[in-house]
Amino acid sequence: MENNIAIEKNISDYTIGELVAQDFRKAEVFKRHGIDFCCRGNVSIDEACAKKNIDAVQLKAELAEIDTQIKDTTIDFNTWDLSDLANHIVDVHHHYVTQSIPVMYEFMNKVCRVHGDHNPELHEISKYFSEVAEELTMHMPKEEMILFPYIKQLNEANKLGLTVERPGFGTIQNPIKMMEMEHISAGNSMEKAKELSNNFTPPEHACATYRVLFSKLAEFEEDLHHHIHLENNILFKKAIEIENNLFNV
């Protein structure tokens, strides 16, 4: 109980704008509750919640939850069971992409509309991000509906000593090659957006939404890199080894 009180008191010491500046993930919490962190960010959580008739305790709990989240880069995924790893990729990284894209489109459109004339590179950044978003939107269902279920089937057969029928795509290396090509395409588009934005560094005149957008782009890129690493370097590599062993290749 004392810890909860301490957390709430600490959060209450900051304005909404300051909280978003410290951790841009919190912008999505405020957005979800319809609280303006940009133009009206110079107020406390209690003040903003009172105006919106929102439960301040619940909102603070949602913000505190973000502070307790542990980034999975500290975990040794190389030791994970492949079925668990596939589920983790879907639950964490695919979910993150699905939830982030609509928010980022909204921020991108607003920033381009307000600042695009003076910063024309924003339109190019928007174009490259759209390429990444469209690529991933088509890419992830193929993994979730075709590739990952087959990897889980291979994994369970390997653990239980069962046999597996050859899939319609012949060998797992065929869809994996396609997924890896799409990873490269998305990565290249993200890299171009990064170059145009000077490593996602907002200009001095940038408003709060502009800054949050660039922070979100940097976060998105970091997640994409880890996402692809887990697939290319661990999940796919080990799945190929299992399939080769099962089919005595």
pLDDT band at 13 (very low <50, low <70, confident <90, very high): confident
pLDDT in tens, 157-175: 999 988 888 889 999 999 9
CA angle 64, 140, 80 (to 5 degrees): 65
What is the rounded CA–CA span in Å between residue 114 and residue 13? 31
Total length of the chain: 249
Token reading at 184:
């490269």
In this prediction, residue 37 carries a pLDDT of 81
Average pLDDT over residues 224-235: 90
Q: Taking a C-beta distance cutoff of 8 angstroms, is the pair 17, 47 a contact?
A: no
pLDDT in the model for residue 118 = 95
Angle value at C-alpha 100, between 26 and 189, nearest 5 degrees: 125
| Mean pLDDT rounded to a whole number for the chain | 89
- Residue for token pair 């001095």: 204
Question: H-helix or E-strand containing 169?
Answer: none
Q: For residue 95, what are the CA distances in angstroms to 87, 140, 141, 175, 237?
A: 11, 10, 12, 21, 23
Region 213-236: what's the mean pLDDT? 92
Best-predicted range by mean pLDDT (40-49, 62-71, 239-248): 239-248
Distance CA(133)–CA(115), nearest Å, equals 22
pLDDT in tens, 176-199: 999 999 999 999 999 999 999 999
Q: What is the pLDDT of residue 248?
A: 82
pLDDT above 70 (res 8): no
Assign 4 a pLDDT band (cuts: 50, 70, 90): very low
Cβ neighbours of residue 141 closer than 8 Å, sequence gap 6 or more: none
- What is the pTM for the complete model shown? 0.76
Reply yes or no on whether the pLDDT at 242 is more than 50.
yes
| Residue 7 pLDDT exceeds 60 | no
Contact 149, 175 (CB under 8 A): no
2: pLDDT confidence band, cut at 50, 70 and 90?
very low
In this model, does residue 41 exceed pLDDT 60? Answer: yes
| Residues pairing with 179 in the sheet | none
Q: With pLDDT > 70 as the criterion, what percentage of the chain qualifies? A: 93
Q: What percent of the chain has pLDDT over 90?
A: 68
> Is the CB of residue 154 less than 8 Å from the CB of residue 246?
yes
For residue 49, pLDDT beyond 50: yes
Q: How confident is the model at residue 3 (pLDDT cuts 50, 70, 90)?
A: very low
